[in-house]
Structure 1
């Protein structure tokens, strides 16, 4: 009887060992190596303006400064949160449903960002509360770059490098297709981008502050009147203040203008001024309103696409 009992115990022990071995060899139950691999790939390092930042490999819940919204949208990513200003940019209409506001664009609410529960925060250097934000999630402060390099950075951050490259390729193809038409319609005509301001003059814009400059000056290599060419396009300056009396010196054969650009000025104070009305571009019906002040400075892919649509319809359909 004792021998039988001993035999039964040995058999049961062997079955337990075999079952355990079977579990180890079962791919569904072998979690150790997968867990290690997943942990290894959870984060990556991105070289940001604020140093090397450890970020999620594939961030899912991104809070961003408003000027970067269009970069995410171009990659098929809707941000989880942005500024109230960003939620009201006309070029993003219909694209930001359910995106939450963190309040002021330069002084965001830490509490609101905490409630959004992001896994990544992407901001410009104008936002100063980096240390507070880092307590919520990894913070990437973006370097100032041209829109193509900026999109490549966003592709790297989000793991969407292929989409970033595809957008750039499509954009360059579209620009190349339009260049013969640009040469035919614009030719040697000069172009200025002038926007009324509250002091009664205008801001003249270069090629780095949105408003069509990056497309016309950089993309299509068009020329500006000499003061803009010398003082903006050939320097690192992005804009300059031009008094009403000097506007004729800065006015090109073609003028792009942004009413109410950057302040609450009444644009009619400039547009109804005899000096403005006497400009050759005004008399020749070569003045085009391309934007309003909400998002006029942006140069992200979504904004550029819509701005090029306007330029093509307004200026090139001649």
Structure 2
């Protein structure tokens, strides 16, 4: 082979090598896993980077997943990291397709069929009914599976156990009987409701501390989870400790709640006589996500200690 031919072959080899090195490679599609949701089996990104989560903002944030959009009520959650919340866009209630589209999400988490139908056109959408996420441990496990975050879920559960132990020790030191029963009640637009353990209001925190729902409320818990009751029926639904909130007060005394407290039937309740009725602020007891439930451990313990002074 002549020198000229060798030079040509060498040049061609170099050109081919450079072409291989600098030719853009196709970007691999993001890895996904199949997740069975209320709206069917959805291919969910293994590591979502831009999540829109309405009702489940706290659950997603507890697993250190980046959220770009949520709804106003969830963004008002006082127990979330406020510096992170400030960077999250309010996408409206119900969710606005236009607002969500601008955020370019790679995963959307909804809680109702109406939002789901709009969101499925934008990105992979997982619909999770409220009933799926009502209990702390089950909820952590569920979202850990959805978001591929088992280690983060385990870390949060560990912090929850540590927080629980700290408050239990305070209750023991004060000699408060954790075999006592409790109930949670709420005044909504002049209607009184009794709750089971799945609608927050401090119920999950009380269970974690070792208290038990009163037997009548255990029946409510195993049924719909809540029940409208009358003041006249309160003796049937009473408990050793009665936690009361009002969603109607908006920072002021709820007239319906004040009227109930003046009723002779209310005054006849054992918890009232023992000063074991505990009123707690709605805006702090409404939320039931992992951050809220963990914080409520101290809130209810503080209230129990005060009631037993």
Aligned match of 1:47:
36
Distance in structure 2 (CA, Å) of the matches to 1:30 and 1:289: 68
Q: Any idea what SS the aligned residue of 1:80 has?
A: strand
| Cross-structure match for 2:239 | 252
Corresponding residue for 1:10? 6
Aligned to 1:153: 142
Match of 1:276 among 266, 272, 279: 266
2:179 aligns with 188
State which of 93, 106, 118 in structure 2 corresponds to 1:119.
Answer: 106
Any idea what SS the aligned residue of 1:268 has?
helix
Residues 237-261 of structure 1, C-alpha deviation per residue, up to 9 Å, x if partnerless? Answer: 3011110112133221211111226
Structure 1 residues 161 and 261: alpha-carbon distance in aligned structure 2, compared to 1, 3 A threshold? farther
- Of 194, 198, 206, which aligns to 1:204? 194
CA 1:177 to 1:310, structure 2 compared with 1: closer, same or farther past 3 Å?
A: closer
Query: Counterpart of 2:159 in 1: which secondary structure?
Result: helix
Q: CA deviation at 1:160?
A: 2.4
Give the gaps of 5 or more residues in structure 2. none
User: Pick from 77, 85, 96: which aligns with 1:89?
Assistant: 77
Out of 122, 126, 134, the residue aligned to residue 140 of structure 1 is: 126
Superposed CA offset, 1:120-166 (max 9, x none) = 11011x34242321111110012514332322232233332211111
Structure index of larger Rg: 1
- Is 93-102 or 206-215 further displaced after alignment? 93-102
Q: Distance in 2 between matches of 1:223 and 1:272?
A: 28
Q: Secondary structure at the match of 2:114?
A: coil
Partner of 2:304: 315
The CA distance in 2 between the partners of 1:153 and 1:245, in whole Å, is 40
Deviates more, 1:143-152 or 1:203-212: 143-152
Cα distance per residue 1:197-253 (max 9 Å; x no partner):
3345x2111111111222323x34423333223x224x2330111101121332212
Q: TM-score, normalised by structure 2?
A: 0.82
Question: SS of the residue aligned with 1:58?
Answer: coil
**Contact in 2 for aligned 1:84/1:103 (Cα 8 Å):** yes
Q: Which stretches in structure 1 are left out of the alignment for 5+ residues? A: none
Q: Return closer, same or farther for 1:78/1:269 CA change in 2, 3 Å cut-off.
A: farther
Shift of residue 178, structure 1, vs aligned partner: 4.5
Give the structure 1 partner of residue 58 of structure 2. Answer: 70
